[in-house]
């Protein structure tokens, strides 16, 4: 019994000792509860400005309002739309460059600027071979004049862009961007009297039919070509072509004055020398097989070819040491020269190869 009383007394004493100890700890070392202070003062903010290092926006601004939409009509019927740009102005008129094929067969032409103003345009001159036409409008409708650049200073990979109206007025002022994909390309173009070769710049900037006549522009906002063609094949995509601005302006200096561009006449009817069956049908047979050149089918009287002694059956191989690849290439090489120039023609006749100097003293236009 005595042991039980001792046990109970010990438990009670331990309880009170524990309570007393806990009290002393709390009093001597109070627990600090963390407090949270809510500030009502506004937070400071910082404005961050983001800029594009490769934007072409400044260049676009230089050319944008110089570009116009062209609508061609035959009577009251719209026959085509395209693009053009103002390249100069005077006190009365603004002068516009576009493609020949944009205004071909049109009886009246209207242009729309980026303010939506539609005005009548006058055709000053047009040339099928260079695919260049020049129009004039009232100077009051000119918003800006384009700056001309130099295509010869371009390098492959340089940034280029176009401004145009790919689907007419609905998409007027469309900008597309690409690079210079190729220089000094030659492409074949169908003409009323056969194929013709054109010297062009190649770009991967999106060019659609309504872009024809619009500017191809460098990163400085300068026009270095006018869009003219698009190669469309199932296996090829993104190949656009533009006429170098130097070739364009050489035609413009005549067309803006209403002058016809005179091209030299050689005075020969020709056929591709590599087409043996076609030559046979023309009454011509050769013991040799030609890899290049054009065969003379007939000679016109009183022409440079006749004066130089060229004859039916001769195969013209080169002009001024440049090999002729076909009929279109022959015209391309010949039309690089002016009336009055003298060229060297290398030709085949009866198993021999000879050369002769030919003075181009007549023009195609004068012979028509």
Angle at 240 between CA 207 and CA 177, to 5 degrees: 60
Alpha helices in the chain (DSSP H): 2-28, 57-64, 100-103, 245-255, 276-281, 304-308, 327-334, 364-367
Q: Which residues contact 76 (CB under 8 A, 6 or more apart)?
A: none
Backbone angles phi, psi at 352, to 5 degrees: -120, 150
Annotated catalytic residue: which of 212, 228, 314, 329?
Answer: 212
Annotated catalytic residue: which of 80, 100, 131, 136?
Answer: 131
Distance CA 29, CA 42 (A): 38
Annotated catalytic residue: which of 65, 100, 101, 141?
Answer: 101
What is the bridge-based pairing of β-strands 159-164 and 215-218?
Answer: antiparallel
Distance CA 132, CA 312 (A): 35
Is 130 noted as a catalytic residue in this protein? no
Distance CA 221, CA 228 (A): 19
Distance CA 99, CA 246 (A): 15
Contact 60, 53 (CB under 8 A): no
13 is written with which tokens?
Answer: 């004493």
- How far, rounded to the nearest angstrom, does the alpha carbon of residue 299 sit from its chain's CA centroid? 40
Is 212 noted as a catalytic residue in this protein? yes
Is 14 noted as a catalytic residue in this protein? no
CB atoms inside a 10 Å sphere around CB 210: 25
Distance CA 148, CA 226 (A): 11
Instruction: Return the exposure string of 79-107: e unless at least 16 CB atoms fall within 10 Å of the residue's CB, then b.
Output: ebbbbbbbbebeeebbbbbbbbbbbeebe
Percent helix / strand / coil, the chain, rounded to 5: 20, 40, 40
DSSP per-residue string spanning 38-77: PP-SPPP--------TT--HHHHHHHHTTEEEEEEEETTE
DSSP state of 233: B
Residues annotated as catalytic are: 101, 131, 212
């Amino acid at each position: 019994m005595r042991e039980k009383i001792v046990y109970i007394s010990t438990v009670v004493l331990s309880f009170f000792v524990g309570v007393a100890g806990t009290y002393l700890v709390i009093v001597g070392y109070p627990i600090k509860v963390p407090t949270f202070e809510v500030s009502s003062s506004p937070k400071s903010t910082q404005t961050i400005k983001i800029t594009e290092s490769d934007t072409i926006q400044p260049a676009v601004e230089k050319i944008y309002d110089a570009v116009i939409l062209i609508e061609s009509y035959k009577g009251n019927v719209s026959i085509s739309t395209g693009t053009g740009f103002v390249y100069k102005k005077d006190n009365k008129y603004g002068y516009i460059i576009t493609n020949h094929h944009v205004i071909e067969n049109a009886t009246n032409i209207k242009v729309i600027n980026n303010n939506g103003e539609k005005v009548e345009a006058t055709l000053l001159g047009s040339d099928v071979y260079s695919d260049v036409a020049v129009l004039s409008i009232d100077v009051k409708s000119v918003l800006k004049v384009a700056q001309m650049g130099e295509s010869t200073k371009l390098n492959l990979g340089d940034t280029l862009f176009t401004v145009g109206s790919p689907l007419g007025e609905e998409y007027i002022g469309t900008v597309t961007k690409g690079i210079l994909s190729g220089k000094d390309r030659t492409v074949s173009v169908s003409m009323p009297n056969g194929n013709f070769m054109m010297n062009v710049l190649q770009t991967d900037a999106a060019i659609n039919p309504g872009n024809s006549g619009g500017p191809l522009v460098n990163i400085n906002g300068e026009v270095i070509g006018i869009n003219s063609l698009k190669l469309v094949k199932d296996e090829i995509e993104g190949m656009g072509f533009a006429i170098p601005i130097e070739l364009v302006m050489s035609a413009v200096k005549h067309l803006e004055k209403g002058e016809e561009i005179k091209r030299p006449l050689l005075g020969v009817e020709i056929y591709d020398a590599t087409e043996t069956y076609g030559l046979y049908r023309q009454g011509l047979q050769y013991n040799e097989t030609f890899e290049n050149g054009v065969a003379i089918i007939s000679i016109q009287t009183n022409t440079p070819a006749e004066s130089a002694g060229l004859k039916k059956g001769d195969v013209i191989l080169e002009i001024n040491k440049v090999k002729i690849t076909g009929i279109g290439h022959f015209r391309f090489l010949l039309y690089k020269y002016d009336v009055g120039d003298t060229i060297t023609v290398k030709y085949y006749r009866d198993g021999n190869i000879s050369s002769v100097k030919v003075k181009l003293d007549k023009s195609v236009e004068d012979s028509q």
